[in-house]
Each structure stands twice: as structure tokens, then as C-alpha cells.
Amino acid sequence: FGVAAAAQGWRIAYLGADMPLEQVADAAASLAPDAVVLSAVAAERFEENAEQVAALGARHRLLVGGAGASAKVARRARATRLTGDPVTAAVTMRTQG
């Protein structure tokens, strides 16, 4: 996804897999990004951290993707849900921002 987003003109700061949300929030506060993208294979990852994800969505433009990013997760987090393959998701990020 990061490669596809970069091809759409986004500058990427990849924080890595399994980054604690506290550190994601700290990085977002420091970097002041145009968008924060979170991805998870399992919905439980979002659900276990629902409050932190929602707080991140309240402070930043938040996009969620991966098989774990349901419409319910996106609504609760005030996020845009990215669907489809990574290239389609990157185009969606560009066109909805």
C-alpha cells in the first residue's frame, strides 16, 4: 500500500507492523500528516483498541484498511474505510482527501 500511495504522490512515513497506537499517536502529533492509515488483518485488532483508534480519528484524517477494517470499525473511528487491493485503496485515499 505504501508503494502505491507514494505513486499517487503521497509522502510516506512507514511506522512498521505492530506499532503501539500510543507511538502512532505520538508520531502523528510530531509529523502532522495529511492522513494516518491503520491496517489490520483481524477486526479484533481494531476492536481491542477502539478507544485509541477513535481518539486518533478525532485528531487526524484517519483511514483504515485490511480485512479487519469493517464498516463498523470505520464508523466508530470516524475513519474512511479503504477497500479493494492496495492500488485501489491508494487511489481512494487520493480522491477522497
Interval 43-85: pLDDT, tens: 999 999 999 999 999 999 999 999 999 999 999 988 999 998 9
The per-residue pLDDT of the chain, averaged, comes to 91
| Mean predicted confidence (pLDDT) in 32-40 | 94
**What is the H or E stretch that residue 6 is in?**
helix 2-7
Provide the pLDDT confidence category of residue 95 given band limits of 50, 70 and 90: confident
pLDDT score for 3: 93
pLDDT for residue 97 is more than 70: no
pTM, rounded to two decimals: 0.90
- Residue 19's alpha-carbon distances to 8, 87, 94, 96, in angstroms, are 24, 23, 24, 26
